[in-house]
Amino acid sequence: MTGKIAPEYLRLMAKPDGLPVLAEWSTALFAEFEGRIRWGGLITNIAFEGQAMKVTCAGYTAYPNGMPYIGSVIRSGAKIAQKWAYDGKDKNHDGYIDGSHPKRKMPKRPKTKVSTRWDAYDIVRTVWSHLQSFKMGKLGVTLDKHDSGYKLGSTSGEDPWELLWWDSPDCGSTITDVMGLASADFLERHYWDGSKEKILHHIDLGTRRLGKSRADLRFAQGENIIEIATPNYQGDFFANNVYVLGKGSGQKTARVRVVVDDKRIRRARVIARKTTANTKSLTASGKAERARHSDQLTIPSIAIRHHPNAPLGSWQLGDRILVQVDIPWVGELAIWHRVVSEEIDPAAGTAVLSLTRSDFYG
């Protein structure tokens, strides 16, 4: 969220304690529309344009980005070495215990144990808990308690997932990576408590289909769509071969290839997912990436006006809407898109919705 503040309001710049009311990484701002909190975030940048102050905010879920994880070591699905009293007791490898009279056969080595496998959402909650464990990091963010059903690491212990503080992992990247492995998504919400005296902050955790399919709303050109951004295909971004590089180095690097036979010449793209060597996970990442690089026509954004077909604020971020437009050289189209961001102007009764194709999410 961005906005400008005119000089006459600068008298509000200091609180009784002498600290500025508006300060980077100190002040939270919220947008309310018809009694409902539509958006909330932290001021991340203050600049000046002429006589006006320009304020830029980012949602609470931007906070983990750039923050190092320095918490407890996490190993999910890792082999646990088992102590064995007979290690080194068969130096001549004849299958018998050295020096035993009469000779006794070596007992079987105990099976290797594998550490508990963490659910992807447990990692997300742990990272947020770590960030909010510091005195000046208590943002009051809560998260859903349910599991994703996706366990990190492998049952064999051959491909453990690790979060090691000495590698200085980025908290934001860690959350993004595990949500990607679980084909999951999140939605940040801010809402009034029962007394409307306090704003609560919560993160919903769900599948890539977090959000609803809004067949109850209508978005049509000539009705409530007043402008569309220039539709586009992929151009140089197009790819029909995707190679995914996983954990490992050199020739031992895990690799999968996702290909679609679309009767076009081969266009390849390589992406890295170095947190796993699991073929299923790497393939899922490859399919999602290939969908993003397909040649399907996309409408990047639409401007709409307040209308009974879709009143302002009737949708949620993540919802899927059917966009009905008439494109020169293409014709009339009805394509399901996902709402990924919004810019609402209540005074003008308009909104701009940024979109991606719904099928890009699988």
> pLDDT, tens digit, for every residue of 253-309?
999 999 988 788 888 989 888 878 888 888 888 888 887 777 577 888 999 999 999
**Is residue 32's pLDDT more than 90?**
no
Yes or no: say if 79 and 113 are a contact pair by the CB < 8 Å rule: yes
Strand order in the sheet with 2-5: 2-5, 52-59, 36-49, 28-33
What is the residue type of 311?
A: P
Percentage, residues of the chain above pLDDT 70? 94
Instruction: Return the amino acid letter for 316.
Output: Q
pLDDT of residue 274: 82
pLDDT digits (tens, 9 = 90+) for 184-208: 889 899 999 988 889 999 999 987 6
Average pLDDT (209-232) is 87
Q: Give the DSSP letter string of 103-165.
A: --BPPPPPPPEEPPPPBHHHHHHHHHHHHTTSGGG---EEE--S--SPBSS-TTSSS-EEE-G
Question: Does the pLDDT at position 12 exceed 80?
Answer: no
Q: Does the structure show a pLDDT above 70 at 361?
A: no
Phi-psi region of 77 (alpha: psi -120 to 50; beta: other; left: phi over 0): left
Task: State how far the Cα of 121 lies from the Cα of 181, in Å rounded to an integer.
Answer: 11
* 237 pLDDT above the threshold of 90: no
Q: How far apart (Å, rounded) are the C-alpha atoms in residues 123 and 129?
A: 10
CA 291, 293, 297, 300 dihedral sign is positive
> Residue 47 has what pLDDT?
92
More confident position, 191 or 316: 191
Q: What is the average pLDDT score of the chain?
A: 86
Whether this prediction's pTM lies above 0.75 is answered by no
Phi-psi domain of 121 (left: phi exceeds 0; alpha: psi -120 through 50; beta: other): alpha
From the list 25, 33, 12, the residue with the least C-alpha distance to 58 is 25
- DSSP readout, 37-98? EEEEEEEEEEEEETTEEEEEEEEGGGTTTTPBP-S--EEES-EEPPP-TTTTS-TT-SSB-T
Mean pLDDT of the region 91-114: 79
Q: How far apart are CA 49 and CA 280, in angstroms?
A: 51
When pLDDT is cut at 50, 70 and 90, the band that residue 9 belongs to is low
